[in-house]
Each structure stands twice: as structure tokens, then as C-alpha cells.
Amino acid sequence: MIRAARGVALLAALVGVASPAHADLGKDVDTLAKSWSSLGTVTVLPPRFYAAGALVPVSLPPASVDRAGDGCTTLAVLGALSTGFLLHLASDDESPGANALVGSVAGAAEIQRCGPARAELAELGIELRSPHGVLEVLSVESPGAVPDLREVLPHRDPGAVAESGDRTLPPLTRPPLASRAVAFERTLREEGASNVDRRSFSANEEGAGKVLLDLSPGCHWIGILGGPTPIHPDAYHDIDAELGWATGGVAATDRTDSPDANLLACTGERQPAILVFAGAGANAPMLLLHGARELPSGVPDSFGVVARARIGRALVEHHAAAPAGPPSYTSLGIGGITNLPIETDPGQCYLAALTPTEGSSSLVSLGVDLGATDARAHTDEPDSAVVLSFCTGIARRRILNVETHGSGVVWVLGLWPLAGQRLGEEEP
């Protein structure tokens, strides 16, 4: 049996409508839930958007953390393959084998407790190590242990990882460069990237380097993968990278604990960019993978190159379907709180996107009154957009609520009708 909790609450997680090409995370959740459902009662929590730095508690059903009985509760957390996060678990067991801290591998982490130890899961929290990302949480209550999630999702298995006595250390080994490149390229194509290019070069003696890129209008995925060095072929290296525009400003950074650096940058016009990286082995062979996709054709040129790039990035980050047609409603505004009455068609689903075009923003928030419930998306990251999906029910009028804070903020908003379901809704 599967207990699902993925409906309207997902809107508050900033997740939009998923197209088939962007449903790989949802597919993994469905596959794992289906496999586990034959072993016990499965609960799928609403997807949630996380930002780095905060420890976010996870609330499981009371039956999952009940210390009575001899059953087991297994919890899995899934994100994009490149997403890094930690599971924190308060435990009275101070022995070296107590998994009070579990790190993700290939965007997945799993923890299991049986009998009275299930109560420990009531103190579970998630800390994102990537800048931001959407995570899915599943749990199963079963009579006994269940197979490792990587047996069900083999593409989440990056290969052998050496054990370490220090739980804060990264893995001491990494999969071969060729297999990591294939996996990364496959992820780019699933995200809608076309013409994935490869470029081989070498790091300098300090394990660092710089690469010049010419980025066309669109959203660009860039991966920096480091190979082994002849002197230390099995050494683990944590590669960090930053992509900056040649005209000034940072486009993307990767400071996660990973042997590879993954970056996403969107631009509304052709721009030269400079990629710098560090942390590789001395004179190590390096591989740069670069894939891109065009900005959504449905976001009009009148929004400007800045707004089109920001909305394009938000759609990619939240795996939202890119609108192909023009918006049915647009609006411009300035900082503060603005309520926008909009005419809607009964039973129609919509995608709304909001982004500053001028000024310096400290908060961008977009909400919609759905009667019994409200949906809201927000971000405190500067130079960002928010996207939100909702369905109108029988109402012919809704109110969009825009709230922005900052200095000299001017914003633009677009609303597009959608034919498909919202991500997380059950198929008819």
C-alpha cells in the first residue's frame, strides 16, 4: 500500500509542471515506491525545495517512528544525480558504527531502523550541500529489512566506495572518468540539452585551470570532470568551480564535496564566460562537458534578455515544463506588495513566473489564492525568478499576490495556460 502526500503541498515547494523529458526524478520515486509497496506500507512525502545551509527536519507518519513492535522503517531521500546532501540523525548510540550522519551518493541516501530504534527517525533532518535543489523523501514500514535502493535504481550506484573511519570525509575512490562522463552526458540529454560537447585538457601543477567559453542565448550545463594522475591514480580530489561573465558578475558556482563540478548558467544573449576550477590532481587529465538548450519560446522578447534568462533558469531548476505559446496575461510592477486579479477558465491549469528586471532584490514571492488553500513560491536569492503552477477548479477569477523587497526593484510577471497535470497529481 502507498500513502501519498504529493498534491497541492508541492506547489509550496516551488516545483512546476514536469514534462516527460524532465521526469527522471519522479520516475525514480515511482519506481522505488512501487518496488517497496510489495514489502510494506510506503509513504511518499511532498517534494520540497531546499537551499544550502539550513538543517530541515523531516516529519514522518507516527507509525513509521513507533518504537513498539519488531518491524523496520526504511527511509530514502532522492534528488538530482548531482545534488549533495546529508541526513542528520540524533542517536544515543555514540559507537563508531552509529550512522548519525549519512551522506548522499549520486543524489541518493538511505537509512533504516528496526524495532525500538525506529524512534530515532523522529529526529531526522536534511542538510543540503549543493546551492539548492528539490528532494523527494520516501519511507516504508515493513516486517523486515528491504533491499538497498540501488538494487532498485542501479543508475544511482556510482561504484565501490571505500570505508572511512571519519564519517565527515568524502569517499576515497571515485568511478572511472569515462563512466562518469557517460552518466553526466545522459543526465544532460534527459534535461533537454542538445549537442553535448566534450573538451579534453589538463590541469596545471596546482590542480587548477581556466577555460574560456562562448555561451549562446539559452541555458547551459557545464561539467568539469577530473581524471587520475600517474603518481596517485586512486586519489580522491574535490573539484570546485566558478563560472563568471567576462563583463563581470558570477553566473554559477559549485563548492560541493564531489570529484566533479556541475554548473548551470542561463543567458538571454551571447556572452563570453570564464570558467575557473581548483582541487584536481597535479597535471591531471580533465574533461569538460557542455550541453545547452534554448530559452523557452513562450517567454516573449519584450520581457528583456535578463528576465528571459532568469525565468529559463527557474524552469530548468524546478523541472517545469517550458511554455511554448505566448502568455495569456502579463504585468509589470515595482517593489512592495501587489494584488493582481486575473480571469481564469474553470478547470484550467496555469504556470506563473515572476522575476525582477531592475534593482537589487532580497525577496521575490508569488502566491495565488485557491480558495480553501493558497499556493506560494519564493526565493531570497538575488537575480532569480520564481515559478508556480496551479489549477483553478470551478472559479473564473483568482488573485495573484506579488511581494518583492529590495532596492529599486522592478518586476515582470507572465501567466501561461497549461494542458497537462501538475507534477505530483495522480494520473486519471
Q: Are residues 271 and 319 in the same domain?
A: no
251 is a domain residue: yes
pLDDT in tens, 367-377: 998 876 778 88
Highest mean pLDDT among 46-60, 287-301, 380-394 belongs to 287-301
- If pLDDT is split at 50, 70 and 90, which confidence band does 301 have? very high
Beta bridge partners, 378, equal: 365
Q: Are residues 231 and 358 in the same domain?
A: no
Give yes or no for a contact between 409 and 320, defined as CB atoms under 8 angstroms apart. no
Beta bridge partners, 337, equal: 403
274 is a domain residue: yes
- If pLDDT is split at 50, 70 and 90, which confidence band does 62 have? confident
pLDDT of residue 211: 94
Hunting for cell 510577471 — which residue is that?
A: 413
Q: What is the mean pLDDT of the chain?
A: 81
pLDDT in tens, 202-245: 999 988 999 999 999 999 999 999 888 777 776 667 888 999 99
Q: Model's pTM, two decimal places?
A: 0.59
Q: Are residues 287 and 387 in the same domain?
A: no
Hunting for cell 550522519 — which residue is that?
A: 101
d(CA 327, CA 319): 19
pLDDT of residue 331: 95
Q: Are residues 127 and 24 in the same domain?
A: yes
Q: By residue range, what is the domain housing residue 139?
A: 2-156
Q: Are residues 131 and 228 in the same domain?
A: no
Question: Is pLDDT above 50 for 421?
Answer: no
Q: 374-379 and 386-391: which strand pairing?
A: unpaired
123 is a domain residue: yes
Cell numbers describing residue 326: 505566448
Give yes or no for a contact between 363 and 406, defined as CB atoms under 8 angstroms apart. yes
User: What are the angstrom distances between the C-alpha of 226 and each of 180, 223, 274, 277, 363?
Assistant: 10, 10, 18, 10, 37
Q: How many domains does the chain have?
A: 3
Question: Any residues with CB less than 8 A from the CB of 252 and at least 6 apart, and which?
Answer: 222, 242, 243, 263, 264, 265
Q: Are residues 29 and 138 in the same domain?
A: yes
**Phi and psi of 184, rounded to 5°?**
-65, -40
270 is a domain residue: yes
Q: Are residues 31 and 143 in the same domain?
A: yes
CA torsion sign for 279, 261, 307, 213 is positive
Residue 37's H or E segment, with its range, is helix 24-37
pLDDT of residue 290: 95
Q: Sheet containing 124-128: which strands, arranged edge to edge?
A: 55-57, 124-128, 85-89, 101-103
- If pLDDT is split at 50, 70 and 90, which confidence band does 124 have? confident
Average pLDDT for 285-313: 94
Cell numbers describing residue 199: 573538451
pLDDT of residue 366: 93
Give yes or no for a contact between 389 and 418, defined as CB atoms under 8 angstroms apart. yes
Q: Are residues 188 and 257 in the same domain?
A: yes
Q: Are residues 268 and 349 in the same domain?
A: no
Question: Any residues with CB less than 8 A from the CB of 313 and at least 6 apart, and which?
Answer: 219, 264, 265, 266, 384, 385
More confident residue, 17 or 248: 248
User: CA 11: distance to chain centroid?
Assistant: 15
Cell numbers describing residue 86: 546529508
Q: pLDDT exceeding 70 applies to what percent of the chain?
A: 83
pLDDT in tens, 42-59: 888 888 877 776 778 888
Cell numbers describing residue 202: 589538463
Question: Is pLDDT above 60 for 404?
Answer: yes
Q: Are residues 321 and 361 in the same domain?
A: yes
Q: 271-278 and 240-245: which strand pairing?
A: antiparallel
Q: Which amino acid is at 302?
A: S
d(CA 293, CA 312): 10
Cell numbers describing residue 30: 515511482
Q: Are residues 196 and 226 in the same domain?
A: yes
